[in-house]
Amino acid sequence: MNFKKQNPINQQKRATFGLGLITAIVVIPVLLILGVVFVKGISVIDWNFLTTEPTNGLREGGVFPAIVGTLILVVGAVVWSVPFGVATAIYLVEYSPRSRAANLVRLAILNLAGVPSVVYGLFGLGVFVIALKFGASILAGTLTLALMGLPVIVTSTAEALKAVPDRFREASLALGASKWQTTRHVVLPNSIQGILTGIILEISRAGGETAPILFTVAAFYLPRLPQSIFDQVMALPMHLFAISTQVPNIGLDVRYAVALTLLFLVLGINAVAISIRAKIRKNRIW
């Protein structure tokens, strides 16, 4: 027998090296993209760029309305999708019988995650903008984004609920609590982390998407802040798309600056959610 070949310490070393190498292959392109965007865009970003409106046919001025618009869209999408998504997940995991119909619903929701975002955009145009007569508006846009985010919220919430051990549910029921009380006071408080993970994913996606907001809310040029949920807004991804394809003679550095602003914005919102999650994780006791 050749024990040298089977040496667990060597195997451990090889595994560490191999997995580290693969991680590096994954991480390096991401860092490169971030680095290029940062280096090429940072020179344009100053206080003026972040706080003023675009002027001269988008060629000059800042991106303030687009920042505000993106913030509104992200928050709106989360506000719509979280209550509905969490409620749906609770029903699917805690209440619905383990039937073929319920499995079909689960499968359908999972598949929604694979629908291209432009299809959501067209659906939003047809249903919210035209049929429900919301017009191109914050209402129509956030509902469209929320719809797109639902599968992620439902799936991550459902997984979080399933991860709560059944013995907690049984202990609660054995004390005379109802199913809803058990869900509300025992299961949900222990699922917040997973729900927040879903929200974090949705923030990133809602912040960066162009297609769903293209027909439903985004304005090409609207140098003022919205007054109501029936107004249009500018949004950073749409703005980037506009200045990259529709407006000639705009410096590359401005485009990178817009992309960098979007990255920072999404990172900022996510940082809030991540820090809440970290705080909860610290208090978690099982």
Task: Note the residues at the interface with another protein (CB under 8 A).
Answer: 98, 167-168, 170-178, 181, 185-186, 189-190, 284-286
CB closer to another protein, 88 vs 190: 190
Q: What minimum distance in Å lies between the beta carbon of 282 and another protein?
A: 12
257 with 50: CB under 8 angstroms?
Answer: no
Q: What minimum distance in Å lies between the beta carbon of 162 and another protein?
A: 16
Q: What minimum distance in Å lies between the beta carbon of 164 and another protein?
A: 9
Q: Which amino acid is at 114?
A: G
Beta carbons within 8 Å of 244's beta carbon, 6+ residues apart: 250, 255
CB closer to another protein, 4 vs 98: 98
CB closer to another protein, 34 vs 171: 171
Q: What minimum distance in Å lies between the beta carbon of 99 and another protein?
A: 11
Cα 159–Cα 162–Cα 168 angle in degrees, nearest 5: 145
Q: What minimum distance in Å lies between the beta carbon of 175 and another protein?
A: 4
- Identify the helix (H) or strand (E) that includes residue 119: helix 117-124
CB closer to another protein, 166 vs 249: 166
CB closer to another protein, 1 vs 101: 101
Residue whose C-alpha is closest to residue 215's, from 144, 150, 146: 144
Residue whose C-alpha is closest to residue 276's, from 156, 193, 184: 193
Q: Which amino acid is at 199?
A: I
